[in-house]
Structure 1
Amino acid sequence: MIDAVITWVDGDDPGHAHKRAAYAKLAEPGRMPAGLDESRFRTSFELYYCVHLIRRHMDWIDRIHLVTDGQRPEWLSDKVAQGLGLAVVDHSTIFRGFEDVLPVFNSKSIEAVLHRIPGLAPAFLYFNDDIFVLRPTPREAFFTAAGARWRGRFHYGFRLENWVSALLGAGGVEREASYLKPGREREFLGRKITFQCAHSPYPFFRDVLADCFAQESSLRHQIAYRFRSHEQMTIPNLVANAAFMRGAAVWGRDDWGYVHGRFDGDDAVLGVLERVRCNAGIRCLCVQEADQMTRLSRLRVERLLADALSRSRLDAVQ
């Protein structure tokens, strides 16, 4: 049995926005300015397509757990949630016993306690709500007898990293922004060569994540920050590297695409979308900061996702 977990927030909700603004005035050690960016909390079409495309293209997923902060999207009625096999999980549930750190506006803190979701399967596919499954994808694309199949690359450090990256290729999109940067995970695990995750679905094992934070002091240090901090680890990188060290992970194929609404203009977005549409080997697409795109690019992205949900138009070009 394998579940899916999605973290989501509606930053436009007045109550949430007011609460976030109040806590943003408090100083936290090593706080990252990007962690206060309003784009991190805005939502539009992403969650709807994220959830429905999982159900459309991953029939082996059992339960979907939507992790939120006392919120619920308007389209997600109890009846719709039941039909989708989706359970809403509040922060108060997974932070039970650590209520002093709430409220939290920081995915690095939230991800550290995902293993505490009640009834969570031993293996689960973790999604940010801006990651979309575009085509039918078998279980073996992420979970095999050899271990979890991680997308990304190995970070070797120093000058050797650039040489190896050039030799092996950078992956689905040749740009640093499309990878989660390795940071304190290397020191925490005592691992010199660090695997650097791509922005695609993350194949977690519940026990690997739980074991990383078996000591309460380690967990408390990770979740002590309401906003992103340089003092924290990036959880997908941590779990991936811990799994590699256990022999429970293998290197996955480059079957993902990536666009960034803040940095990619209309031509760049169109180029990625056309490549994704025409290449049947690309299973997933990450669309970061869609709210920063032009109206034209947003319409193009939504058209691609709508076609992927119906599959008729996406299949027609293959």
Structure 2
Amino acid sequence: MKDSVQAIDIVIAWVDGNDSNLKNKRRKFMNQAEPSNALEDTRFASNDEIYFCVASILKFVPYSGTIYVVTDQQQPKWLDQFEQQGLCKAGKIKIIDHREVFNGYESALPTFNSLSIESMLWNIPDISDYFIYLNDDFFFNQASHQQDFLVDGQMVIYGHWQSNFVKKVKYLLRKFVQNKFGKIAQPKYSMAQMLSADCVGLSRYYEIHHRPHILSKALLANYFGQHPLFLQQQIRFKFRNIDQILPVGLSNHLAIQNNQAILKDDVEIAYLKDGRDLEPFIQALSKEHIKFGCIQSLDQLEQRDELRIRHALVDKFREVLPSQIQPTIAR
């Protein structure tokens, strides 16, 4: 089947951190030996971003197959309204529980760790050979073409090369301080990327940033099948840990090693981290060359700024947002 007509499934990781059952479950496993930034409430917060994420796929990603929403015995309140109101076909959106994702690896559950969950996405039953993974705070900002991610079986990866050396020295130093003095080392996104290259023997890593990424089911399944103890070590952490790799990075570096990758420069995204990004973010929503967006820590904004963001996103995706969601989000 040609790339131009091959459906690519999309996987979204989602959690409702306000759920009391989840909070109680998480509390049982929290202790002072966990890195503090892996326990922050905002890491588990849900502020309706999932609806914008799904709406953006329906509006801008015509080649998308099944949209899998990965959860821990939860479901976004309004998610079924996409189908019920005819905004997508029946079965387009599927909730898949951690127990299905971790089938055969149940000893790692429960988990509150995005890196552990990402390590098991290849295990989703019937998922497409290549799939796009994104957090629920990512969205597609403009029309996407399959060639943005996959060209003749080659994964398109956006980023740039970085040497492992500095990150490896920092990693080893922090591990030494942790082991010698008991100061818990904080996990870092860039360090996890470095480790994903280091574990396959590369001396540099292809650094990526916050936006949707294409992954290969076969590359990940084969690697973890050949390194079962490595996988067990990777998914055993309940919260993010400095020793974990970035699974997206692993898929990328394996593709590069196997000559299955097309490397491209970084692309600009609509990025909102705090109130200082408010105006540039809103302006970016209408720019045709900016294909992806990311909303980080929406709950940390001032209320008036949060409302402006919500209204802007509702206006952008109104025709693919269920009617109940629009007044609820743009409150």
**Per the shorter chain, which TM-score range?**
0.7 to 0.9
Give the whole-Å Cα distance in 1 for the aligned partners of 2:69 and 2:77.
Answer: 14
Instruction: Indicate yes or no: 2:293 matched with 1:290.
Output: no
Work out whether residues 135 and 308 of structure 1, in 8 Å CA contact, stay in contact via their aligned partners in 2. no
Q: 2:195 aligns with which of 173, 184, 190?
A: 184
Aligned to 1:32: 35
1:247 Cα deviation (Å)? 1.3
Give the whole-Å Cα distance in 2 for the aligned partners of 1:183 and 1:280.
Answer: 32
Work out whether residues 115 and 246 of structure 2, in 8 Å CA contact, stay in contact via their aligned partners in 1. yes
Instruction: Indicate yes or no: 2:133 matched with 1:126.
Output: yes
Work out whether residues 108 and 233 of structure 1, in 8 Å CA contact, stay in contact via their aligned partners in 2. yes
Work out whether residues 123 and 205 of structure 1, in 8 Å CA contact, stay in contact via their aligned partners in 2. yes
Aligned to 1:271: 280
Aligned to 1:314: none
Work out whether residues 197 and 236 of structure 1, in 8 Å CA contact, stay in contact via their aligned partners in 2. no
Name the amino acid aligned to 2:19: D
Aligned to 1:247: 259
Aligned to 2:114: 107
1:255 Cα deviation (Å)? 4.0
Aligned to 2:315: 307
Per the alignment, in what secondary structure is the counterpart of residue 198 of structure 2? helix
Residue-by-residue CA offset, 1:29-72 (whole Å, 9 max, x unaligned) = xx432110100111012001101110111011011111110111
Name the amino acid aligned to 2:256: F
Alignment length, in residue pairs? 286
Instruction: Indicate yes or no: 2:70 matched with 1:67.
Output: yes
Residue-by-residue CA offset, 1:64-118 (whole Å, 9 max, x unaligned) = 1111101111112385486460111111112122222210000100001100101
Residue-by-residue CA offset, 1:2-37 (whole Å, 9 max, x unaligned) = 10001111010000011111111374xxx4321101
Aligned to 2:169: none
Work out whether residues 179 and 196 of structure 1, in 8 Å CA contact, stay in contact via their aligned partners in 2. no
TM-score, length-scaled by structure 2: 0.80
Give the whole-Å Cα distance in 2 for the aligned partners of 1:62 and 1:95.
Answer: 22
Give the whole-Å Cα distance in 2 for the aligned partners of 1:240 and 1:278.
Answer: 30
Work out whether residues 270 and 300 of structure 1, in 8 Å CA contact, stay in contact via their aligned partners in 2. no
Give the whole-Å Cα distance in 2 for the aligned partners of 1:303 and 1:216.
Answer: 47
Aligned to 2:17: 11
Q: Are the structure 2 counterparts of residues 157 and 257 from structure 1 closer, same or farther at C-alpha, using a change threshold of 3 Å?
A: farther
Instruction: Indicate yes or no: 2:230 matched with 1:218.
Output: yes
Residue-by-residue CA offset, 1:98-153 (whole Å, 9 max, x unaligned) = 22221000010000110010110001110100101111111111111261112222
Name the amino acid aligned to 2:126: G
1:307 Cα deviation (Å)? 2.9
Unaligned runs of 5+ in 2: 1-6, 167-187, 320-331
Per the alignment, in what secondary structure is the counterpart of residue 184 of structure 1? helix
Give the whole-Å Cα distance in 2 for the aligned partners of 1:66 and 1:141.
Answer: 22
Q: Are the structure 2 counterparts of residues 37 and 3 from structure 1 closer, same or farther at C-alpha, using a change threshold of 3 Å?
A: same
Per the alignment, in what secondary structure is the counterpart of residue 183 of structure 1? helix
Give the whole-Å Cα distance in 1 for the aligned partners of 2:67 and 2:277.
Answer: 33
Aligned to 2:327: none
Unaligned runs of 5+ in 1: 160-177, 312-318
Aligned to 2:123: 116
Name the amino acid aligned to 1:8: W
1:304 Cα deviation (Å)? 2.9
Work out whether residues 180 and 199 of structure 1, in 8 Å CA contact, stay in contact via their aligned partners in 2. no
Per the alignment, in what secondary structure is the counterpart of residue 199 of structure 2? helix
Residue-by-residue CA offset, 1:143-189 (whole Å, 9 max, x unaligned) = 11261112222212568xxxxxxxxxxxxxxxxxx974423223201
Query: Percent of counterpart pairs with the same letter?
Result: 28
- Taking the TM superposition and a 5 Å limit, the aligned residue runs for 1:231-242 are 231-242=243-254
Aligned to 1:196: 207
Name the amino acid aligned to 1:71: Q
| RMSD of aligned residue pairs (Cα, Å) | 2.3
Give the whole-Å Cα distance in 2 for the aligned partners of 1:180 and 1:87.
Answer: 31
Q: 1:48 aligns with which of 47, 51, 69?
A: 51
Give the whole-Å Cα distance in 2 for the aligned partners of 1:179 and 1:251.
Answer: 20
1:198 Cα deviation (Å)? 1.0
Work out whether residues 194 and 204 of structure 2, in 8 Å CA contact, stay in contact via their aligned partners in 1. no
1:256 Cα deviation (Å)? 1.9
